[in-house]
Structure 1
Amino acid sequence: MSVVDTLHGHPIPDPYRWLEDPDSPATRTWLADRAREFARAAANWPMRDRLAARIRRLIATDLWSPPVRRGDLAFTTRRDAGADHPRLITVRDGYERVVFDPAVHDPSGRTTLDAWEPSPDGRLVAVQTSTGGTGRGALRVLSTENGLPVEEPIRGVRCSHVAWLPTPRDTAFYYVRSDSAEGRYGVWLHRVLALPRRPDILVHPCAGPCTVPAVRLLRGRWLLVSENHGSGHRNDLWIADLRGGSAHAPRLRAVHTGEEIASEAEAGPDGLLYLRTTLDAPRRRICVADPADPSPTQWREVVPEDPGTTLDGFAVTSSAPRSPRPATAADAAEGSADIELLVSRTRLGISELSAHGARDGRRLRRVELPGDGMVTRLEAGTDGSASFCYADVATQQTVLVLGHGQRHPHSWPLHAPPRAPRVSAPGAAAPNSSKPGRGPRRHTLWCRSTDGTSVPVTVFSTGSADAPGPTILHAYGGFGRPRQFGFSATVLAWLLAGGRYAVAHVRGGGDAGKAWHPRGVHRDKIRSVQDLIAAADALVSDGYCARDHLCLSGGSAGGLLVLAAATMRPDLCSAVIASAPLADMARFEQLGLGRMWTREFGTASDPVDFTALMSYSPYHRALNGQGHRYPAVLLTGCHGDTRIDAAHPRKMCAALSAAASPDRPVLLRYERDAGHGARAVTRAIELAADAHAFAAARTGLSPRTRSA
């Protein structure tokens, strides 16, 4: 029976409301029918097995995480070539010991290792896991000697840092947990093996259910607590000195609260607090403050904002690391002479790394990276070095270590970075292209959106930039997050098969800094969709592809964009891949974590917001779309998705199917033991191969396609 809601005087039909119940007999029967439809269609995709095999070959290498040192132990994870999950190991004098292996813990492969943090002396390690991709999991304390748990696990945790107390005589840590029917999070103190057994202590409750905290310990002394308010616009930040204070009641001093500022902090060896912040800097800058008086009015700028790049990470290093201590102004000035700030910036998805003086922010040198790629997880070591992960379109993630004062990083462990097979790139490099011979070509195309805004589109190919061919156009455009170009075996397999891959840097994301986000958010969210449409039109008009050779692709918030674009402009492309998308924007607040995203999308309870939401809501446009010739659509959904409820792709599939043309099918690929989070590598390969084989079948990519 169709449901009709009345919102602000408007009747809103919802004929597929019944699909919001995932376990009803009717929904189960409907899902079984969709599974058979998908299997029949997938059996006729000629590129499916070829793409899956190539993806497996491209990722067949060991992957390490940056080392975390505790005494003579180095903690790291390694996913062995061909394995589904990384294992947590310790390395001492070249010898390895496995501390936690998800495949041994859960042979079904459904459990993932989400986070881990060793104790200050390295005897214990806190390990966070989740099952089925739900993002909700358990925290276990393991002995590093034998990998065995030392006590019962803590349930209901959210993936976050664990902050161990710095003193070995008080074995305890702070962590994040939800502990109420409303799903409100808080920061808790847990004492390991406490006798008598005592309940954990709530040291920092969150104000409401739309707030998510995080906790960190800086240089063994400063407790840092932040609260993210679910939109990427801002966070609140507090700091407490654990020396001389009470662990169960730390004196949290506000750094900034209640302001439109997003900041993160690191403590330097000079005893000062260094902050990467959007305060008066949409593309972020670095300021320094005294932890004893950390309010923004006392900040001093060290590294200014760069109008052409976004400052997305930094590390504080020193040639002579020392214990943190209170610093006078004179001490800080003297101590900062040998301190460097290693700064990572992103320019349209490509990272740049440079060293700056901590005293005046002057750029000292540029760090040489292996290519045009992405730098992540930039962290300072205890020996004055810094480690980070590097990847690019043709280079799988590798760990690099940079010594203090150096320009050229080296790999860790000491081996050559694992590279995918070299891709030939004939001809001269085009403007804005990557170096010839190192991998796929990269070109920047500019398009003009509906309101006249110039929007960049990055285009990758392995051959001539002028030859049209099957093309995937990807977009995300949400929560102020920039798109960075790291390694994707799926993308590289598509390129090697002869396809082209493009990314639209639409408003709503963070590709052009913080200011790029609010221009495509809330009541202006439709601009993100208009930017994507303009990008698709530009690819066609500039000869990169024809309409019937173009497939839009997006996941999560990006899935919303591609569905909105296709329902607004059914002639835009031949196919759409929408992975775990938002779709019903009248009810998104009642599904999954939608209540946390009202700052991003608005709320249906507000009449003006409601009008904006309905202007692009894919589900409702599809319900009213009888007679339109929509593209072929592949939707993916996960039964265990606690972030974006799988009701969105279920209902969208039903609505589109009712209006679909027989030669342009609407398919749903649905998984029961998976969610929005990480999954086993084998399952990730199967999903990627299915999605891109669908794109190949709809855009004409075949084993005979010439490289585009």
Structure 2
Amino acid sequence: MPTAPRPEQRPFVHRHHGDERVDEYAWLRDREDPAVLAHLKAENAHTEESLAHLAGLREELFEEYRSRIKETDEDVPARDGAWEYFTRTQEGKQYPLFVRQPVGDGDSGRDSTGDAGGEEVLLDCNEAAEGTDYFALGAFAVSPSGHLLAYSVDTDGSEEFRMRVKDLRTGEHLPDTISPTGYGAAWSADEGFLFYTTLDPAHRPWKLWRHRLGTDQGEDVLIFTEEDESFYLGISRTRSREWLVLDLHATESSEVHVLPTDDPEGRWRLVAARRPGVEYTLEHHTDRFLFVTNDQGPDFRLAQAPVEDPRPERWTDVIPHQEGVRIVSVDAFTDHLVVALRSDGRTELDVITVADSERRRMVFEEPIYTVDVGTNREFDTTTLRIDYTSLTTPNSVVDVDLATDARRLRKRQPVLNVDLDRYQSTREWATAPDGTKVPISLVWRDDRPEGGPVLLYGYGSYEHSMDPWFSTLRLSLLDRGVAFAIAHVRGGGELGRSWYEHGKRLEKANTFTDFVAAADYLVDNGWTTRDGLAIRGGSAGGLLIGAVLNIRPDLCAAAVAEVPFVDALTTILDPSLPLTVREWDEWGNPVADPQVYAAMKAYAPFDNVSASHYPAIYATAGLNDPRVSYWEPAKWVARLRDRMTGGGPVLLKTELGAGHGGPSGRYDAWRDEAQVHAFVLDQVGLAKTSG
């Protein structure tokens, strides 16, 4: 198997705050060194050889996935002016097609394909991806008239994009090419200008540009530069189409500038200057701006101010701050406002009638579910499209009459050859060492043997909530007797802002002990056994997995860590790396604060690998990953093999042509998931194939 530091390389010694840390694998950071690529290729070969006995199971799983999925399918069209827009997948094709049809042309409620008169394919991503191993869209913006499409493409996973403009009347591309860009783009009302962002050397969106259609990129006008490395810059347009929004946001602070879409060369207006600890987002509704802000409490309020004078001192309550009820966002329509919030660990939607300020909450039958505002392109409408799912309910698109609450199921994700009534879910509560109750969501098939295997998933960072979701691919685990569980640990946002605050910086250890408590609960209460427990997490959730394994190497039989942020202290100490300065709001600044340094050193997975018996571990990386550098999992795996006293295997799979999200094509992604599922099933003793 791949081994060890290169003999000609001396270990690198990190020195901070009077402390020394030895890194014998620092040479893996030099991606220009041919030995590094050779090492990663050798790791891939070793992983493939180690899992060769699972080839039949992997293929069986892949075919199971396909058998349940309607491969030629399309989503529900969403109206935007004279057109209805939707995407379509085709059997055998990796990527979707972006399509539109005139309003009223064909059955807009259909959920299968068919040639509708007047239908147009705006972009066939399969054609656009020809000749590349990776493909992702960064922007997809149709101009106000519907005549032009601006879209951008990433072909290596680096999240740097090349933007083109297509004339939808002729199907031809205009000469305009803009590269590289960040995510997103926005049109002016007259379609004469495009606004876009570019990245700094640390991969941070930091400049806003104005491009005049028909001119060379070298003539583009720089509108704004964000010098503060903790802030990101984004560009969007309000649903009303009246305002362009320049959003500047750090983890704990915000600033917004606006410009009328019909005055693209005008002067941008500052709405509210950034203040430390104060966050806000902006939505437009007729003569007022709406703000979701934490200026009066950690769980945010909904405020409003006149468009002509939106200074913070003019902000008045629409919904005042209420502790424990986290207001997440607001969507504005002509006669209604829709407020997304979190209460009692659930996602909720409230509807406010503009005329009389009446407020009501949408009610759903299942006790555990996830609901969110779906694709709603039009401002002047009384129909709200929502997305609904649960651990046992496939992804569903529902249209809601905002005046009456009458609902129409427009589409439920087709799941073929499956009796969905056989799957059950529940919510349990574990107790953390400090007495905090930690929710666990579980799903299983009704004939699962008592005490069978469990795959426990976790994340717990950035206030990102791991709300229950349905997975067609997951059914292959459930059908083999494996239950799936989500540990809703602190650091996420499931139980409001305080749930996040008590899982970050100097309290980050709560994330890990919450997860351990959830795992122990599942074993102690008969859901599974130690030999039947597998754990999984990705990115910051991969840091969670790595930290948990150091705390409790005996916790489980198997662990999956996808693009794991396992060399966290080294990365957060290096301001030159992408994202680092912004990350100080999340983790603390170990460069300046010895207390933060000590806290991170105590949990950083790479720094705390010990001479212990570790479970089987499957780790992944992306060579072009701009978020978690490939060398973090590569170094972690090498140190594990060097120091562990038994257990394993410890395997690494690096995508050599992709980034943070892994393979981009859907079939490639399914095969990737089959590899993970086969690994888990093998380690919990369920690797038999039906053949």
TM-score, normalisation: structure 1 = 0.86
Question: What does residue 667 of structure 2 align with?
Answer: 682
Counterpart residue type for residue 280 of structure 1: Q
Contact kept in structure 1, 2:79 and 2:377, CA below 8 Å: no
Structure 1 residues 209 and 558: CA distance shift in structure 2, 3 A: same
Structure 1 residues 25 and 342: CA distance shift in structure 2, 3 A: same
- What's the CA shift for 1:14? 0.1
Deviation per CA, 1:349-404, whole angstroms, max 9, x where unpaired? 75433422236643246266899334254535244133343333345445433344
Question: What does residue 258 of structure 2 align with?
Answer: 239
**Aligned-partner SS, 1:44:** helix
- What's the CA shift for 1:592? 4.1
Question: What does residue 555 of structure 2 align with?
Answer: 572
1:356 matches 2:340:
no
Aligned mates of 1:441, 1:286 — CA distance in 2: 37
Question: What does residue 85 of structure 2 align with?
Answer: 75
Q: Which of residues 204, 213, 232 is equivalent to 2:224?
A: 204
Higher mean alpha-carbon deviation, 32-41 vs 359-368, is at: 359-368
Question: What does residue 292 of structure 1 align with?
Answer: 308
Question: What does residue 487 of structure 2 align with?
Answer: 504
Q: Which of residues 338, 341, 345 is equivalent to 2:341?
A: 345
- What's the CA shift for 1:116? 0.8
Deviation per CA, 1:147-166, whole angstroms, max 9, x where unpaired? 32112321121112x22111
**Aligned-partner SS, 1:283:** coil
* Superposition map of 1:51-62 within 5 A: 51-61=61-71
Structure 1 residues 621 and 506: CA distance shift in structure 2, 3 A: same
Counterpart residue type for residue 615 of structure 2: P
Aligned mates of 1:684, 1:220 — CA distance in 2: 36
Structure 1 residues 475 and 376: CA distance shift in structure 2, 3 A: farther
* Superposition map of 1:547-586 within 5 A: 547-586=530-569
Question: What does residue 114 of structure 2 align with?
Answer: none
1:315 matches 2:312:
no
**Aligned-partner SS, 1:204:** strand
Counterpart residue type for residue 59 of structure 1: I
Q: Which of residues 390, 394, 399 is equivalent to 1:401?
A: 399
Deviation per CA, 1:179-209, whole angstroms, max 9, x where unpaired? 6688562111111114x98611111211233
Deviation per CA, 1:127-174, whole angstroms, max 9, x where unpaired? 1221122211112111112432112321121112x2211135xx1122
Counterpart residue type for residue 43 of structure 2: R
Contact kept in structure 1, 2:534 and 2:556, CA below 8 Å: yes
Question: What does residue 328 of structure 1 align with?
Answer: none
1:97 matches 2:120:
yes
Paired-residue identity, %: 26
**Aligned-partner SS, 1:582:** coil
**Aligned-partner SS, 1:517:** helix
Question: What does residue 375 of structure 1 align with?
Answer: 372
- What's the CA shift for 1:305? 5.0
Question: What does residue 189 of structure 1 align with?
Answer: 210
Question: What does residue 634 of structure 1 align with?
Answer: 618
- What's the CA shift for 1:661? 5.0
Q: Which of residues 514, 520, 530 is equivalent to 1:531?
A: 514
Question: What does residue 589 of structure 2 align with?
Answer: 603
Question: What does residue 169 of structure 2 align with?
Answer: 145
Question: What does residue 4 of structure 1 align with?
Answer: 13
**Aligned-partner SS, 2:48:** helix
Aligned mates of 1:411, 1:153 — CA distance in 2: 41
- What's the CA shift for 1:704? 8.7
Question: What does residue 37 of structure 2 align with?
Answer: 28
* Superposition map of 1:693-704 within 5 A: 693-702=678-687
Contact kept in structure 1, 2:613 and 2:646, CA below 8 Å: no
**Aligned-partner SS, 1:187:** strand
Q: Which of residues 267, 276, 283 is equivalent to 2:292?
A: 276
Contact kept in structure 2, 1:289 and 1:300, CA below 8 Å: yes
Higher mean alpha-carbon deviation, 80-89 vs 184-193, is at: 80-89
Higher mean alpha-carbon deviation, 70-79 vs 86-95, is at: 70-79
Aligned mates of 1:439, 1:317 — CA distance in 2: 40
Deviation per CA, 1:643-688, whole angstroms, max 9, x where unpaired? 1101111001101111345542100011111111471111211211
Higher mean alpha-carbon deviation, 482-491 vs 443-452, is at: 482-491
Counterpart residue type for residue 558 of structure 1: G
Aligned mates of 1:237, 1:62 — CA distance in 2: 42
**Aligned-partner SS, 1:695:** helix
TM-score, normalisation: structure 2 = 0.88
Aligned mates of 2:204, 2:578 — CA distance in 1: 12
Aligned mates of 2:312, 2:146 — CA distance in 1: 36
**Aligned-partner SS, 2:222:** strand
Higher mean alpha-carbon deviation, 547-556 vs 691-700, is at: 691-700
Aligned mates of 1:701, 1:288 — CA distance in 2: 56
Deviation per CA, 1:521-551, whole angstroms, max 9, x where unpaired? 1122111111111111111111111111111
Query: 5+ unaligned residues in a row in structure 2: which ranges?
Result: 1-9, 107-117
Aligned mates of 1:63, 1:274 — CA distance in 2: 37
Contact kept in structure 1, 2:156 and 2:657, CA below 8 Å: yes
Contact kept in structure 2, 1:125 and 1:142, CA below 8 Å: yes
Counterpart residue type for residue 302 of structure 1: V
Aligned mates of 2:68, 2:254 — CA distance in 1: 38
- What's the CA shift for 1:464? 6.5
- What's the CA shift for 1:479? 0.7
Structure 1 residues 531 and 657: CA distance shift in structure 2, 3 A: same
Counterpart residue type for residue 48 of structure 1: R
- What's the CA shift for 1:308? 5.4
Deviation per CA, 1:416-458, whole angstroms, max 9, x where unpaired? 423325866xxxxxxxxxxxx6563222221221222221111
Deviation per CA, 1:212-237, whole angstroms, max 9, x where unpaired? 111122223222211121x3x33222
Aligned mates of 1:379, 1:346 — CA distance in 2: 21
Counterpart residue type for residue 48 of structure 2: A
Contact kept in structure 1, 2:678 and 2:687, CA below 8 Å: no
- What's the CA shift for 1:510? 0.8
Counterpart residue type for residue 226 of structure 1: D
Deviation per CA, 1:42-92, whole angstroms, max 9, x where unpaired? 222364223222223333345656755454222333333553112222212
Contact kept in structure 1, 2:247 and 2:256, CA below 8 Å: yes
**Aligned-partner SS, 1:520:** coil
Question: What does residue 254 of structure 1 align with?
Answer: 271
Higher mean alpha-carbon deviation, 607-616 vs 669-678, is at: 669-678
Counterpart residue type for residue 262 of structure 1: E
Contact kept in structure 1, 2:178 and 2:217, CA below 8 Å: no
**Aligned-partner SS, 2:53:** coil
Question: What does residue 431 of structure 1 align with?
Answer: none
**Aligned-partner SS, 1:129:** strand
**Aligned-partner SS, 1:114:** strand
Aligned mates of 1:167, 1:369 — CA distance in 2: 46
Question: What does residue 47 of structure 2 align with?
Answer: 38
- What's the CA shift for 1:18? 0.8
Contact kept in structure 1, 2:257 and 2:268, CA below 8 Å: no
Question: What does residue 594 of structure 1 align with?
Answer: 580
Query: 5+ unaligned residues in a row in structure 1: which ranges?
Result: 319-338, 425-436
Question: What does residue 644 of structure 1 align with?
Answer: 628
1:483 matches 2:466:
yes
Aligned mates of 1:696, 1:209 — CA distance in 2: 44
Structure 1 residues 187 and 256: CA distance shift in structure 2, 3 A: same
Q: Which of residues 370, 389, 396 is equivalent to 1:391?
A: 389
1:692 matches 2:677:
yes
For this pair of structures, how many residues does the alignment match? 658
Superposition RMSD in Å? 2.8
Aligned mates of 1:585, 1:368 — CA distance in 2: 40
Structure 1 residues 345 and 50: CA distance shift in structure 2, 3 A: farther
Deviation per CA, 1:527-579, whole angstroms, max 9, x where unpaired? 11111111111111111111111111000000001110001111111111000
Contact kept in structure 1, 2:453 and 2:483, CA below 8 Å: yes
Q: Which of residues 386, 392, 413 is equivalent to 1:418?
A: 413
